[in-house]
Amino acid sequence: MRQNKYASFPKDFLWGGAIAASQADGAYNEDGKKPNSSDVQPYLKGLSNEEIQELEKQGMTLDEVKKNLTDTTHYFPKRHGINFYHTYENDLELLAEMGFKTFRTSIDWSRVFPNGDETEPNEAALQHYGKMIDKMKSLGIEPIITMLHYETPINITLQYGGWKNKAVIDMFERYGKVLLDRFGDRVKYWIVVNQINMIQIEPFLSLGICRDQYDHIEEAEYQAVHNQMVASAKIQKYAKTLHYDLEIGTMVADMTVYPYSCKPDDIVLAMQHNRMQYFFTDVQFRGEYPRYALNYFNENNIHLDITEEETKLLSDHTMDYLAISYYFSQMVDSTKNVNKADSTSVNPNLDANPWGWNVDPQGLFNTLSQYWDRYQKPIIIAENGFGMYDTVEDGKIHDDYRISYLSDHIEQVGRAIHDGANVIAYCAWGPIDIVSCSSQQMTKRYGFIYVDLDDEGKGSAKRMKKDSFYWYKQVISTNGSEI
């Protein structure tokens, strides 16, 4: 442990962690649940990390989705997760032992409305999530609940063409209203859509759209995310009619970039790239489509169906707070890259983990400061973590590399708060090991708690405390003054 020179955290700061139902719950065929977008992703044994991530970025074809629904050859890790659906009580008690003040997880849309288009919810799912939330509250843990974390019912992809179809707006609004009615008395903080800006990085998971479903895929992606933003505004509108003290937020993954050099071409490309990342939050906080985005659409032959009613909804019902996930920083080089979210270069000044994610603590300070300066909205760090291979030695896991990463990043959170950013929560990603979103691997571990399962689901599933467990417990008990 060391002293944090930026120990600026308020007394009521919410220390905790975050997972997703799609990566942890398992129980994929229980209590009426049907498949969602995460359930059709197989673990592809034998591929390199680079190959796995490239396939993720490409997304799936419609035939691949249909085939995977009946595939009995491959292992589908997210259908099993870590069995959190049944082990949540003991797992939450372990988090409480660390002193967690908050815990972010998601409710699986494909449990509550298994096909997405039903008119009545699945009561068994609501009862389950009610018990989970009650357990959190009994342990003094403030829930942060995500309504959609890569759990779009697969029926919406197959029958409706994903989020591009405006019919999905009303389906999701119905789902969101059910959650607020049922749990609004116990859950204050809601994130409507996880990482709403990941439409070009994880298009299938984000939007339920297969890469071959539309001729102009980029147009389909922006139409789909427009529909998600309209659905978010409708849910915000409904939330403000309730007597509960609700905070409705939007969430982005940090995809902003540095310029490769001080060459004007690099600086301007980085600025243009960053504006198209701020686009999502500009709409959801400022309530209108910015001119630079409209120009981008025109230049790329993107024509969106936006009604006057939707324009007013977006204007009148902006979000209350910003949730951010941050893992690494990125860079653009004008001689190699273009103004597309997935067009970036490797930063030669930074080290990386085995998946190529550059380690850049000061990038978190930069990100928090830029978003705060732009919007002056409360910020929740919804995800921050270090994926790495862990080794069990005599029943212990010595993960100094994870402690080092998180310590340096938490210091930069304090630095942003010291400079005036209203950061209210820090959620370390994957405080208990779960299936990786991007690679479907268990061996890409983030947790303070080790789960004895391998990439093919083999193992005892026993939980073990890593060295980082005791480190984070001390961080929380000292309110970030010792890191």
pLDDT at 152 over 90: yes
Q: How much is the pLDDT for 48?
A: 84
The three-class DSSP label of residue 148 is: strand
Distance CA 284, CA 235 (A): 13
Angle at alpha carbon of residue 180, lines to 178 and 181, rounded to 5°: 65
Asked if residue 148 is part of any domain, the answer here is yes
pTM here?
Answer: 0.96
Q: How many CA atoms lie within 13 A of 267 on its CB side?
A: 4
Mean pLDDT of the chain: 96
Structural domain includes residue 465:
yes
* Cβ–Cβ < 8 Å for 53, 355: yes
Task: Give the tokens for residue 343.
Answer: 């067009």
Residue 395 inside a domain? The answer is: yes
Q: How much is the pLDDT for 44?
A: 87
Element (H, E) at 430: none
Answer yes or no: is pLDDT of 59 > 80. Answer: no
pLDDT at 4: 95
Residue 4 lies in a domain: no
Residues contacting 104, CB < 8 A, separation 6+:
16, 17, 18, 19, 143, 144, 145, 146, 191, 382, 427
| Residue 50 pLDDT > 90 | no
Q: How far is CA 142 from the centre of its chain?
A: 18
In this predicted structure, the answer to whether residue 55 has a pLDDT above a threshold of 80 is: no
Could you please report the per-residue DSSP string of 15-80?
EEEE--HHHHT--TTSTT---BTTTT----TT--HHHHHHHHHH---HHHHHHHHH--SS--GGGT
Distance CA 133, CA 130 (A): 5
3-state secondary structure at position 461: coil
User: CATH code at 251?
Assistant: 3.20.20.80
Does residue 266 form part of some domain? Answer: yes
Record the tokens describing residue 41, joined without a space.
């992703």
Residue 5 maps to a domain: no
Interval 192-221: pLDDT, tens: 999 999 998 889 999 999 999 999 999 999
Return the pLDDT at 178: 98
Dist. CA 37–CA 205, nearest whole Å = 6
- Cα torsion at 159, 52, 387, 83 (round to 10°)? 50
Question: For residue range 105-151, what is the model confidence (pLDDT) as tens digits?
Answer: 999 999 999 999 999 999 999 999 999 999 999 999 999 999 999 99
In a domain, 482, yes or no: no
pLDDT digits (tens, 9 = 90+) for 156-195: 999 999 999 999 999 999 999 999 999 999 999 999 999 9
Q: Which of 222, 39, 31 is nearest to 122 (CA)?
A: 31
Instruction: Please report how the helices 264-281 and 291-299 are oriented relative to each other, as an axis angle in degrees rounded to 10.
Output: 110
Provide the pLDDT for residue 47. Answer: 84
**3-class state of residue 331 by DSSP:** strand
In this prediction, residues 315-322 reach a mean pLDDT of 98
Q: Does residue 102 fall inside a structural domain?
A: yes
For residue 18, the enclosing domain spans: 14-477
pLDDT, residue 475, reads: 98
Question: pLDDT band at residue 397, thresholds of 50, 70 and 90?
Answer: very high
How many CB atoms are located within 10 Å of the residue 299 CB? 9
pLDDT per residue over 334-360, tens digit each?
999 999 988 999 999 999 998 888 999
Q: Choose among 473, 423, 412: nearest CA to 448.
A: 473
**Number of domains present in the structure of the chain:** 1
